[in-house]
Every structure is written in structure tokens, then in C-alpha cells.
Amino acid sequence: MSATLSIELPRTPEAAGLARRALDDLNGSVARDVLPDVRLLVSELITNSVKYGGEGPVRLEVEASEKSVRAEIIDQGVGFTPKVRDDDLDRVGGWGLHLTEHLTSRWGTYEGSTHVWFEIDLT
């Protein structure tokens, strides 16, 4: 079974919560043991987008199939270079990309934009 989700979120502190609730539409289309990771990663990446992105809304697009889940977070920011977290692990904050690296099958950005994507293989 496949499912898609596409939602535009306001650039406000509530955006991550709205995104998590929108993911409820994927219940039954994504394995129950994978959906919590998708929620966590979407929440972290939407929060980064709100904090560091440009003006205007943030877009969340998710495609789920029997083989994988792919999510994309898109905003109007000027882009960034992903950095591996290698400093104080007790420091609060800055865990979004670290978690993305460890919980996904693959992820990336589109150069010159703040368009971040990730995929989790289900098979």
C-alpha cells in the first residue's frame, strides 16, 4: 500500500507539531515500528527549517510505499552545508542531522537550497 502527504506549514514554533499530526494520515501505510522515527526526523528537520530557513512557509512532502518512506522538507532559505556533529555530546540542541544520519538509509540536501530529504528502507 502506498500513501503520499504534502502539506504547507507556517514558519512558526507550532510547525513541528503540525507536521507530526499530519503524519497521522500515514497510519496503516508505514510500519508501526518505523513511523516513530519518521515523526522524530520530520520534527527535527522542520524545527531546523523554522529556525534557520528563509521567509515564507515550510513544505513537507512524504511518500510511503511497501519498500521505503521518503520525506522532503523544503523552505526558501539560502542553503547550508551539512556538518557532522563531532563536539560535546552533552550539549543541548543540534541533533537533527545527527539523528538523520543514524536513523535513515540515506539522506541529503540539494546544493544551494534548504531542501533536505531522507529515505528509510522498509525491506
The boundaries of the domain holding residue 44 are 3-121
Q: For position 103, which CATH number holds?
A: 3.30.565.10
Mean pLDDT of 4-9: 96
Residue 107 CA to residue 70 CA, distance in Å, equals 9
Residue 22: band (very low, low, confident or very high) from pLDDT cuts 50, 70, 90: very high
Nearest to 95 by CA among 105, 81, 77, 83: 83
Mean pLDDT score, 10-37: 92
Looking at residue 78, what is its pLDDT? 57
Number of separate domains in the chain:
1
Scan for cell 507536521, then name that residue: 19
> Three-class SS of residue 110?
coil
Bridge partners of residue 119, in order along the sequence: 70, 106
Percent of residues, the chain, with pLDDT higher than 90: 50
